[in-house]
Structures are given as C-alpha cells and as structure tokens.
Amino acid sequence: MSESVRITTLDGTFSAYVARPSVEPAPAIVVLHEVFGVNSDMRETCHELADRGYIAVCPDLFWRQEPGVDLSHWSDAEWKKGLALYNTYNLDTGVSDIADTIAAARRFDGASGKVGVMGFCLGGLLTFLTAARCDADGGVAYYPGSAENHLAEATAVSIPMMIHLGEEDEFISKDAQQKIKDGFASNSEVKIFSYPGCSHAFARHTGVHYDPSAAETANARTWEFFDHQLR
C-alpha cells in the first residue's frame, strides 16, 4: 500500500511518498533520493522496504526549488535538470527538512517509533549529514557524493552508519574515497564497504552501471543493518 503525505516545516509543507508493510506497528526508514527526485527507482526502493516490513518514506527534497521532481536518467535534458537542482540545493535546509521527516515518521499511525535513514548519491551525502546532526536510529549511505568535502563532521556521527562505495565511481574519485575512509577511521560507529569494479549508482535498479551481484551484497548488508538497529 502506498500514499502521499504532507510533512510540515516552519517554512511550509512538502510531500513524501510512503509505502507501508502488511503488518504494523513497524519501524520507518526515510529514503533520500538522488538528483532525479522521487522517481520510479525511489518508489521501487520504498516498496522493497515495505516488503521487508518497514514503513518507507521518501520526502521531496527539492520542494523548495521545484516541487514534484520525477526524472529519469535516460536523457541529457533530465540529467542537466537534475544536476542544476543539485548545484543549487541547500544542504542545511535539506537536513532540516529530513529532521522534520524523521520526527513525522516517528509519529505515523502504525509506526514503532524507530526511524532509520538511507540515501543515494545526494541522498547518501544527506544521510551522512543527518547522522551527524539529527536523531535517527541508524543510517546507510550509498555512494555519497562530495562527502569528502564535509569530513569535519565525521566525528559528530554518533549513530551507527554504513557507507557503500563503488571503487570505480566516476563521481567519487579514488582519492576522495580514501579521504572518506581516513575521515571516518577513528569513528567506531561507521563501517565502510568498497565494491571492486563498480561505478557510481551500482545499486540503482535501472542504472546503466547496475551491478546485480554488488547490489545484492550491499542491499543484504543494509537489510541486516536495519534489522539490527530498528527491530
């Protein structure tokens, strides 16, 4: 079952896609999208989580710029639009919107009160920043773009967090990946996994670089993580 809900902030309200499990009460997972908005891939991810017994909530992170963004990655025009939104996105207000989403998810009818966060690319970076600044119960970041530029906050992460990196990521260089690993090396709450031969978005269902084996491994680690942290 799925529905659209409204999340309230001090600046207004925005939509979030919600997929629900067949059995409640259940923990919630906030799913943070890539530069393509709340698209079919994110909705599929939400339904996968619902099938695993979670309330999945995917907030419209771009609502302040353009509500309702739903792009594919198949055309240059959609890529350019997504990147333009990314380049003008305010990370600080984004984290505030995510905090409001977490607070709302804790109070959903049928929610257990436990809330995790997982995100991809832009959403992966926001997962890291949310883990550093907010009160989620665990986070999983898939290929968090530009995370190497925010490592001053690495020591502020006080909740369990997992990071998945493709070793051949064209947007997160090997040097950047090493900086990320070094930046979190002293934080026992954070575990980082690398996937040899994998490019950016290796776990995106419809991605040109989708790697079924690596995605299955990463997702299995993610499910085990959330089952431990949220159950």
Catalytic (active-site) positions: 169, 200
- Give exposure, 9-25, as e/b (b: 16+ Cβ within 10 Å): beeeebbbbbbbbeeee
- Calpha distance 38→35 (Å, rounded): 9
